[in-house]
Amino acid sequence: MDNPSKIIEGGIEYSLGRFDGKCVHYDFEKILVYLDAKGKLLFGKNFKIYKKDKKILLKLCSYFIRDKATCDKYEIDIEKGILLSGPVGCGKTSLMKLLRHLVPAQRTYEMIPCRNVTFSFNHLGYKTIEEYGSSRFFCFDDMGVEPPGRFYGKDLNVMGEVLLSRYDLFLETNRKVKTHATTNLNAEELEERYGNRVRSRMRELFNLVAFDQNARDKRK
């Protein structure tokens, strides 16, 4: 029988905790060792897990492994998606790319840059809204700084429409369809960008997990 508490990467077996035959009792420190190793495989040898990010990682890991007790402590709803916010270069995109590997048996999500969604709309029109308003799982990267959408002379806030579609789907499927996103913007800036109606839907779609605004730019 497979042991879901172990993952093999690059020929090395990593233990994430203890499997009792029914469920995995995860060990956060062991998860961090695995994420550091997997991060180096995905992003190169300079990738590292920073001590300052441990609290953010604890929240995110607890969410992905569905640790309800820890999620309740941080007021995270396991059924909603994650909106990971923070300054440019703090590692949001890398973490969301990395964390989808943590529970291989779980349905994963595609990482889609928001600017790609807008570019697609500009070429294909409303078909794009249907495509991203589908029951696939997505993480929309860099939300709020994508260019405006325009198709046959008509302007549209494309990501706003996609989020409204995904909110409707979230309700229709009894909260089974997950939407995640990353953003550099704060709540006020998001509201300014997408309007009050989208912002209120976002509160119901997402758990907000935020880096400190002074988090360092790890790309420097």
Say which CATH number the domain at 187 has. 3.40.50.300
Per the domain annotation, does 167 fall within a domain? yes
Q: What is residue 105's predicted lDDT score, i.e. its pLDDT? A: 87
Q: Which amino acid is at 146?
A: E
Q: What is the pLDDT of residue 89?
A: 84
Let me know if residue 22 belongs to a domain. no
Structure tokens that stand for 187 in this block: 């709540």
Domain encompassing residue 131: 77-210
Q: Which residues pair with 83 in a beta bridge?
A: 181, 208
User: Is 172 within a domain?
Assistant: yes
Quote the pLDDT of residue 220.
67
Residue 21 lies in a domain: no
Q: For the chain, how many structural domains are there in total? A: 1
- In the chain, which residues have pLDDT < 70? 1, 220
Q: Is residue 7 part of a domain?
A: no
CA dist 78 to 74, 150, 176, Å?
Answer: 11, 35, 11
Structure confidence by residue, pLDDT tens digits, 77-124: 999 999 999 998 889 999 999 999 999 989 999 999 999 999 999 999
Q: Is residue 14 part of a domain?
A: no
Straight-line distance from the first to the last Cα atom of the chain, in angstroms, rounded to the nearest whole number: 45
Tell whether 83 is covered by a domain. yes
- The CB-side HSE value for 197 (13 A sphere, CA atoms) comes to 10
Please state the three-class secondary structure of 131-148 as a single string: HHCCCCCEEEECCCCCCC
Q: Where are the alpha helices (DSSP H) in 142-213?
A: 158-172, 187-194, 196-205
In a domain, 28, yes or no: no
